[in-house]
Homo-oligomer: A and B are copies of this chain.
Amino acid sequence: MNLALIGFGTVGQGFAQLLRDKAADARFRSLDAHITVVVTRSRGALALESGLDSGLLLDAMAAGGLHVFPDLPGLRRDVTALDAVTLPSVDVVLDVTPSNLQNGHPSVDLGMAALAAGKHLVLANKGALVHGFERLNAAARASGRKLLYEATVMAGTPALRLAMQALAGCTLLEARGIVNGTTNYMLTQMQAGLPYAEALAEAQRLGYAEPDPTADVDGWDAASKAVILGAALFGRQFALNAMEVSGISHLTPGDIAAATAAGECWKLIARVTADGAWVRPTRIPLTHPLAGVAGPTNALTLTTDVLGDVTIIGKGAGGLQTGFGLLSDLLDIARSR
Using a CB–CB cutoff of 8 Å, the interface residues on chain A facing chain B are 18, 22, 25, 27-28, 155-158, 161-162, 165-170, 286-294, 297, 306-315, 320-321, 324, 327-328, 331
Contacts and interface: CB of A to CB of B under 8 A. Distances in A.
A313 B289 contact: yes
Contact of A314 (B168, B286, B309): B309
Contact of A170 (B286, B294, B324): B324
Contacts of A170: 324
A158 B162 contact: yes
A248 B209 CA distance: 44
Given A162-B166, A166-B165, A292-B291, A156 B331 contact: no
A155 B310 CA distance: 12
Contact of A169 (B27, B168, B311): B27
Contacts of A310: 157-158, 312-314
A28 B170 CA distance: 11
Contacts of A286: 286, 292
Contacts of A290: 292
A306 to B, nearest CB: 5
Given A161-B166, A292-B288, A328-B168, A307 B312 contact: no
A320 B306 contact: yes
B292 A289 contact: yes
Nearest to A291: B292
A211 to B, nearest CB: 26
A27 B171 CA distance: 11
A31 B45 CA distance: 47
Contacts of A314: 307-311
Contacts of A307: 155-157, 314-315, 321, 324
A313 B315 contact: no
Contacts of A294: 287
Given A169-B22, A169-B328, A331-B169, A306 B321 contact: yes
10 contacts: A156-B307, A158-B166, A158-B167, A161-B165, A162-B312, A165-B166, A287-B294, A289-B289, A306-B320, A311-B313
A169 B306 contact: no
Contacts of A327: 169
